[in-house]
Amino acid sequence: MRTTFERATARRLARHGLAGPVPGDRLAAQAGVMCGVHAQVMSAAEISLALRVEGGTREAVREALWSDHALIKTYGPRGTVHVFPAADLAVWAGALGAAAPASRFADGVRLTAAQEDEVVAAIGAALSGGELTADELGDEVVARTGPWAGDLVMPAFQGMWPRWRQAINVAAHRGVLCFGPNRGRKVTYTNPGRFVPGFAPVAAGEADAAVLHRFLHAYGPATPQQFAQWLAVSKTWAARVFETADIERVTVDGAEAWVNAGDTGFGEEPSGVRLLPYFDAYVVGSHPRERLFPGRAVSRALDGGQAGTFPVLLVDGVVAGVWHQKAGRRRTAITVEALDEPGPALRAAIEEQAERIAAIQGLTAALTFGEITVGAHA
């Protein structure tokens, strides 16, 4: 089977809800199609998901998270915070736990296997009854394990964190920790079993294959190396998952890649204009990067090769500029820097997109075109 980058891009846009939005009742399901919504910047995650849904708003995303619990906020690919459908959580927990790299902490800091098990059990028990802040959870973990769990041995932003905190991702992937709603400005954690009765991670082998199939559906055709980069796992692990999965080989402009078995239908020409926020799943997961970020987009919209650190202007499925917003109480000032001088039709499409971004947030838009001076997001 042969295809082209343009036809693969058209398919990705359609599946991502970027060629046209999906029905409003598919908000949570669309988060699953995207393989999760990157949520280190929660306001960006709300925009990212809502813009793919008919009439989607940040309030609808918040309701799905904190009222309906159709979405769960937890640790996902690359160890970063993501939002997943509750229905998919068991698969992601199983796969991410199996793919997790060995601890990077030195002897004397690193938890032993027995200590890690003890901390994870303590976290699960402490969170089974409600939401706790990090400090409250730490007190519970130390009380249930011992003073060693609270030793300040982990370098943090402006100080040291207690030893137990290196097990937070592990606890998430073992199915006993996810995020609760913020308490003021403080993050809270809770046990996903409160929202998903009988929740338990899927067994590793089954989960690995399921995650690969989800990835190829959203971002394929793709290679093992691209899958490994997206998950931030070893190439050896990714290659092993590819070897045992029900997939088939295709060529994209002569380059070898893979899709799910039988999933060989592609689009025609990619089209459309979108303003994508920080860390949007489409730009983080799509490859090859040199085609997605053509010409000057490499230096303007990538940060040392990392995608997602700038909000981007997407034209016909490829990056054609960057943008920034400064939101106030009633209005958001949106500035768009197009890499090539936009003509009247493109300007009109960008204006429409700016209004859509503002509406998602319950605001009105004030659009200008010009240079973006704000640097990349960390």
CB 65 within 8 A of CB 138: no
Domain boundary among 182, 197, 212: 197
Is 338 within a domain? yes
Is 69 within a domain? no
Q: How many domains does the chain have?
A: 2
Is 58 within a domain? no
Q: Supply the pLDDT for residue 104.
A: 83
CA distance 48 to 245: 30
Q: Supply the pLDDT for residue 108.
A: 84
Q: Supply the pLDDT for residue 156.
A: 81
Does the reported pTM lie above 0.85? yes
Is 142 within a domain? yes
SS3 assignment, position 120: helix
Q: Which amino acid is at 328?
A: G
Spell out the per-residue pLDDT of the chain, length 378, in tens: 899 999 999 999 999 999 999 999 999 999 999 999 999 999 999 999 999 999 999 999 999 999 999 999 999 999 999 999 999 999 999 999 988 887 888 888 899 999 999 999 999 999 999 999 999 999 999 999 999 999 999 888 778 999 999 999 999 999 999 999 999 999 999 999 999 988 999 998 999 999 999 999 999 999 999 999 999 999 999 999 999 999 999 999 999 999 999 999 999 999 999 999 999 999 999 999 999 999 999 999 999 889 999 999 999 999 999 999 999 999 999 999 999 999 999 999 999 999 999 999 999 999 999 999 999 986
The parent domain of residue 306 ranges over: 273-369
Q: Supply the pLDDT for residue 244.
A: 93
CATH number for the domain spanning 188: value is 1.10.10
Co-location of 365 and 280 in the same domain: yes
- Return the H-helix or E-strand segment holding 313: strand 312-315
CB 274 within 8 A of CB 268: no
Residue 71 half-sphere exposure, CB side, CA atoms within 13 Å? 32
Tokens linked to 232: 């931030």
Integer angstrom CA distances of residue 313 from 137, 274, 288, 316, 349: 41, 6, 18, 10, 11
Is 63 within a domain? no
Domain boundary among 166, 182, 197: 197
CB 131 within 8 A of CB 181: yes
Nearest to 40 by CA among 278, 332, 229: 278
Domain boundary among 168, 197, 226: 197
Strands 318-327, 331-338: pairing is antiparallel
